[in-house]
Amino acid sequence: MNKVLFYAFAILLCITSCSPAKLVATTTHKQIMDSYTTKEQVIKKFGIPTSKRIDGDYEEYYYLFGVKTITDKNASLSALFGSSKSKSANTATNVASYGGMAAGSSSGSSVTNSGGGANANASARSISQEVKTYVKFTFQGDKVVTWESNGVDYGIYEMKKK
């Protein structure tokens, strides 16, 4: 009887202690970005901007970190020929809304067939999209008025059990 009780307790302990952990944001990207309130803090963290733009009382600092490619290898055929166009338009619009350096650069999405020929099935296809990674701050005087980011996440994450 003691052995049965011992094994039951051991199994119960293993099930509860082996529960999957989940990555949880302890501090979100928005909280981190909202913590930058002055031009001095922004320059201290990000350095000299890639480009600056002055518009009346407002000054924009744009930090371009490059382009990263996001690939969805589990794309379906409908996603290949349907929704990928709208995603690229949104990305191009978001980047072009800056109106500066990024607007003249190439962006958008491309559909690639990683299968071996015309008979490739949907699971052998992928959608690749190039995304510009940047942070943009707008200042009025020395105070941050707004910020915008794309393709970056400064959040702080921890593994926590469910």
pLDDT at 65 over 70: yes
Q: Is the pLDDT at 110 greater than 60, yes or no?
A: no
18: confidence class by pLDDT, cuts 50, 70, 90: low
**DSSP β-ladder status, 21-27 and 156-161:** antiparallel
Could you give the C-alpha distances from 152 to 33, 64, 68, 78, 103, in angstroms and in order? 11, 11, 10, 28, 19
Please, which residues have CB within 8 angstroms of residue 110's CB and are 6 or more apart in sequence? 128, 129, 130
User: What was the pLDDT predicted at 5?
Assistant: 57
Q: Return the pLDDT at 120.
A: 44
> What is the pLDDT, as a whole number, of residue 94?
38
| pTM flag (> 0.85) | no
pLDDT at 150 over 60: yes
- Distance, CA of 144 to CA of 70 (rounded, Å): 30
What DSSP letter does each residue of 12-43 carry, written as one string?
Answer: HHHHHHTPPEEEEEEE-HHHHHHT--BHHHHH
Number of domains in the chain: 1
The 10 Å Cβ neighbour count of residue 111 is 16
Q: Judge whether 132 and 148 are in contact, CB under 8 Å.
A: no
What is the pLDDT averaged over residues 52-61? 96
Return the closest-CA partner of residue 132 out of 88, 83, 162.
Answer: 88
Domain that holds residue 136: 2-161
Which has the higher per-residue pLDDT, 153 or 16? 153
H or E stretch including 131? strand 125-140
What does the alpha-carbon distance between residue 109 and residue 126 come to, in Å, rounded to a whole number? 11
pLDDT digits (tens, 9 = 90+) for 19-51: 678 888 899 999 999 999 999 999 999 999 999
Percent of the chain with pLDDT over 90: 41
Mean pLDDT of 119-142: 79
